[in-house]
Amino acid sequence: MEPQLSLRRLEIFRLVVEERSVTRAAAILMIAQPAVSSQLRALEKWLGAKLFTRRGSQIELTEAGERANAWAKAILASAAELRRDVDGIESGGGGSVVAAASIGVGSYLLPAVLTRFRERHPGADMTLNVLQPQDALRQISSGEADFAVTTWDADETRTNVHTTVLRDEPVLIVVRGDRRPENRVMSIEEALRLPLVAAPRVVAAQRAVSSQLSLLTDAEPNVVIRLGHPLAAKQAVIDHGWATILPRYVVAADVAAGVLATVEVPGLDLRERIVVAWRRDKVFSKLQQTLVAEIRDRLGEFHRAE
C-alpha cells in the first residue's frame, strides 16, 4: 500500500459515490475529469482493491467500495468534528455546537432553548441549521452537525444514527380567527372540504399527516395551494380566509392572540413525532452533552405542561 492518504482524496471519492458519476463530480469541484480519475486510482492503489465497476453508463461500488465508502464517511465526519472542536479551543471560546433541525422545529421550538443556553455559556460558538429532515440527518451523518432535532421521517432510517423520541405533538386544523365555525363541530369529511393550505408532498410532516388521514377517511383534502414554510401557510390563511393543518407549537401564539382559531373535529387525532438524533459513534463534548440534555428536558417539560 502507498503510505499517503489525504482527506481531500476521500472527499473526492465520496462525491463520486454520491453523484454516481466522475464527470458530475469533476464539474462540481470545477476540476478536470482526469484529475478526479487520478485521485480514485490512487485510492484504489492505497487500498489494494478496485472500488468501482461500470454497468452501462453508470458506475457502481464493488463490495470493497461499499466498505471503503462507509469508512470514508466516518473518517470525514470525525475530521469535521475535530476541526470544529480544535477551532473552539484555539479561539479561547467555550466550545462549539452545530445543531440541525427541521423547518418547524428550528423555527418555533429550538431558538428559545438555544438562546437561553447561550446566555449561560457566553463563550460558546453555536449554530442552528434549519433544513428538511432528510438533510438534517445527512448533516449528522457527515459530521457537519453534532445532532439534529427534527420531525421523524419514517422514510429516512439510517443504521448509523441513534434517535430518541422527544414528543408526539398534536397537529391541528386552524382557520382565520373570524372564520371559526359557530356553535358546532365539524366531521373529518367537512373539515377536509375546507380550502386547505398544505405543505409540499415531499415534506416529511406532510407525508405523515397524509398517512394518518388515510387511516381515518377516504375523503381527499381540498388543497388549494402547497407552501413550503409554516409561516407562509399561516399568512395565506390570514390573507385569504383559508384553513391549514399545522403542529400546535406553530399556531399556539396565533390562536392565543385570536389571529387564528382551531376547528374542533371529533375523532381527528393527528400527531407529529419529534426526535433528537445523533451519529451512533458520536463523542459529545461536555458543552454538546449539556445542551442535548437541556433540549430533552425543556421540550419534554413543555409537552407535559400543555
**Domains of the chain by start residue, with CATH:** 7-74 (1.10.10.10), 75-166+273-301 (3.40.190.10), 169-271 (3.40.190.10)
At 123, list the grid cell: 463563550
Distance of CA 109 to the CA centre of its chain: 14
pLDDT score of 284 more than 90 = no
At 196, list the grid cell: 386547505
Q: What is the pLDDT of residues 248-272, one digit of tens each?
A: 999 999 999 999 999 999 999 999 9
How far, in Å, CA of 251 to CA of 234, rounded?
A: 8
How far, in Å, CA of 288 to CA of 301, rounded?
A: 20
How far, in Å, CA of 111 to CA of 253, rounded?
A: 15
Q: What is the pLDDT of residues 89-98, one digit of tens each?
A: 554 456 889 9
- Among 47, 98, 66, 15, smallest CA distance to 282 is for 98
pTM, two decimals, is: 0.73
- Strands (E) across 36-123 are located at 52-55, 58-61, 96-102
pLDDT score of 84 more than 50 = yes
How far, in Å, CA of 240 to CA of 197, rounded?
A: 10
At 262, list the grid cell: 382551531
Q: What is the mean pLDDT of residues 186-197?
A: 96
**What local confidence, expressed as pLDDT, does residue 57 receive?**
73
How far, in Å, CA of 43 to CA of 4, rounded?
A: 9
**What local confidence, expressed as pLDDT, does residue 306 receive?**
39
